[in-house]
Structure 1
Amino acid sequence: MAVEAEKSGSDGKPWSLCKMPFWQGRNGSSSSSSLTSMQNSHSNVHHHHHQNQSHHHQSVERMSLHSSNTVSSVAKSFLPTRRRLRLDPPTKLFFPYEPGKQVRSAIGIKNSCKSLVAFKFQTTAPKSCYMRPPGGILAPGESIIATVFKFVEPPESNEKPLDQKSRVKFKIMSLKVKGEMDYVPELFDEQKDQVAVEQILRVVFLDPERPSPAMEKLKRQLAEAEAALETRKKPPEDTGPRIVGEGLVIDEWKERRERYLARQQVEGVDSV
C-alpha cells in the first residue's frame, strides 16, 4: 500500500502552499530580470513624461509672459501721454480779430516735471506767424508767457468777419534735458525719439470791441509778457564795488596837498 501511494506520486500528492510566486516558471532568474526590465522601462517612461510636462509648463509660462508683455505694451499705447508742460490756455490761441493787421496772442507755459524740460514752437504758416521766444529750457516749476504773432487775412466777400476759420495750427513740443545747457533748436533733431508733442493749438478769433473773459485774460497775459521782456532787457545790477575813472572822484588828501602848495606859492610871492 505504501508502495502504491508512493507510485501515485504527483497524481495523489495533496496541494501545498506555493513557495515561489506563481509567475515564476522553471527559470526564476529569467522572470526576475524580466520584472526588473519592466520596472526600469516604466521608470524611464515616467521620467520622460515628467520631463515633457516640465518643458510644457516652461513653454506655457514663456508664452504667458510674452502674452502679458504684449498686452501691457498695447495697453500703454492707449494710455494718454503724460504731459511735461502745463499750458494756459490749454488747447487754443486767442487772437483779436483785426483784418489786415498783425495781432498778438499769449500762452503760459509751465514745467510740471522734476527735471529740466526744453520746449519748442512750430507753426504751419512760418511766413505769417512767429513766436517769442520760439523755444527755451525751463527748470522744474519755472514758467513763462510766450507771445505769438499772426497776420490776420481779410475776410472773403461771402464770409462774416468773426466766422473766419484759420487753417493755421501751432504745435508745442517738449524734451527732457540733463544738466544745465543753452537752448538750441538742434536738440529736438538730435533726440527725436525722446520728443513729445504736448499740444496742437488751434486759432480762435475774438472781437476786440466786445468785452469777454477770454479777451480780458489775453490782455493781462500780454501785459505780463511785455513786463517780463523789459526785465530781461535790463542789464544786471552790479552789486560789487563801484569803480570810477580818475578825475571823477575828489581825493581828500590830494585836495589838501593842492591847497598847501597854493598857499606856499602865495607866501613866496609876498616875501619877494
Structure 2
Amino acid sequence: QQQQQPQQQKGRRQQQQPRHSGVSSVAKSLLPARRRLRLDPASKLYFPYEPGKQVRSAIRIKNTSKSHVAFKFQTTEPKSCFMRPPGAILPPGESIIATVFKFVEHPENNEKQLDQKCKVKFKILSLKVKGSMEYVAELFDEQKDQVSVEQVLRVVFLDVERTCPQMEKLKRQLAEAEAALEARKKPPEDTGPRVVGEGLVIDEWKERRERYLARQQVGVDSV
C-alpha cells in the first residue's frame, strides 16, 4: 500500500499539469494588448463650444514602441468630423500633433450644452509595420488581426468665455500643429548652382584627359 500511494500521487500530479498550462494560456489571452502609442490628452478631445461653427481640437500621438507604428482615426460622425492627418506612420520615439475638425450644431433650446454628453466619439487604431513605408489606409484592412484599439476618445466642450488649463493647452497644441504643417509645405531651400562643385568636376575631367593623352603619346614614342 505504501508503494501504491506515491504512484497514485504522481499520477494525480501528471493529470493536474495540463490544467495549469491551460489556465495560464487562457489568462494570457485575457490580458489587454500592450499599447503602442501615448496620447495627450489621454482619453478626451477638447473642443471650443461655438455653435454653428467648425471648431478644432488637437491631440499629441507618440510612438512608445521599438518598431514603426501606423495609426488611424475613426469617428462615429464622418460627415461632420475629419482629422488631419487621418493616419500616419511614426518611427520609434517620434510624435505628431493631429488636428481634429468638428462642426458644432445649434442646440434645440438655444442653451449651452457644455455639461451634456456628446454622442460623437473618436477611435484611434494602431498597427505595427515593418520599417519606414508610405501610409495607406488599406494597411488596416489587410492586417485586421494585428490591429489594436489604442483608445476611444470622448468629446468634451469648453466654454470659450472662460479660461481653463485645457483651453490654454489646446491653443498651444493647435499652434504647434499649424507650425509643423507650414514647415512641411515649404519647398527645400535652393542654394543656387554649385559653381565650385562643377569646377571640380571639370578639373577632374581635364586631368583624366591629360593622362589619357600622355599615355597615347608614350605609345606613339615607343612605336
Give me the whole-angstrom Cα distance separating, in 1, the residues matched to 2:32 and 2:72.
21
Query: Which runs of structure 2 are paired with 1:1-272 in the superposition (5 Å)?
Result: 61=14, 63-157=15-109, 160-238=112-190, 241-242=193-194
> How far did residue 66 of structure 1 move?
2.7
RMSD: 2.3
Q: Deviations over 1:142-196 (max 9, x none)?
A: 0000000000111121854323321001000000001221110111111111100
Letter in 1 for 2:139: L
Q: Deviations over 1:206-236 (max 9, x none)?
A: 0111000000000000000000000000112
Partner of 1:41: none
Q: Is the 8 A contact 2:84 2:99 kept in 1?
A: yes
Give me the whole-angstrom Cα distance separating, in 1, the residues matched to 2:190 and 2:148.
40
> Aligned pairs, how many?
191
Give me the whole-angstrom Cα distance separating, in 2, the residues matched to 1:212 and 1:78.
39
Q: Deviations over 1:118-163 (max 9, x none)?
A: 0000000000000000000000000000000000111121854323
Letter in 2 for 1:152: V
Pick closer, same or farther for the CA change 1:72–1:220 going to 2, 3 Å. Answer: same
Q: Is the 8 A contact 2:72 2:87 kept in 1?
A: yes
Larger Rg: 1
- Of stretches 176-185 and 113-122 in structure 1, the one that deviates more from structure 2 is 176-185
Pick closer, same or farther for the CA change 1:111–1:239 going to 2, 3 Å. Answer: farther
Give the 3-state SS of the residue equivalent to 1:66 in structure 2.
Answer: helix
Give me the whole-angstrom Cα distance separating, in 2, the residues matched to 1:236 and 1:65.
65
Q: Deviations over 1:79-137 (max 9, x none)?
A: 33211000000000000000011000000000000000000000000000000000000
Letter in 1 for 2:55: V
Letter in 1 for 2:162: R
Give me the whole-angstrom Cα distance separating, in 2, the residues matched to 1:76 and 1:234.
49
Structure with higher helix content: 1
Give the 3-state SS of the residue equivalent to 1:136 in structure 2.
Answer: strand
Q: Is the 8 A contact 1:130 1:149 kept in 2?
A: yes
Q: Is the 8 A contact 2:55 2:103 kept in 1?
A: yes
Give the 3-state SS of the residue equivalent to 2:169 in structure 1.
Answer: helix
Give the 3-state SS of the residue equivalent to 1:76 in structure 2.
Answer: helix
Relative contact order higher in (CA < 8 Å, ≥ 6 apart): 2
Percent of aligned pairs with the same amino acid: 75
> How far did residue 240 of structure 1 move?
7.6
Provide TM-score, normalisation by structure 2.
0.78
Give me the whole-angstrom Cα distance separating, in 2, the residues matched to 1:119 and 1:165.
26
Pick closer, same or farther for the CA change 1:237–1:66 going to 2, 3 Å. Answer: farther
Give me the whole-angstrom Cα distance separating, in 1, the residues matched to 2:185 and 2:61.
20
> How far did residue 72 of structure 1 move?
1.4
Q: Is the 8 A contact 1:155 1:164 kept in 2?
A: no
- Unpaired runs of 5+ in structure 1? 1-45, 244-272
Give the 3-state SS of the residue equivalent to 2:157 in structure 1.
Answer: strand
Give the 3-state SS of the residue equivalent to 1:163 in structure 2.
Answer: coil
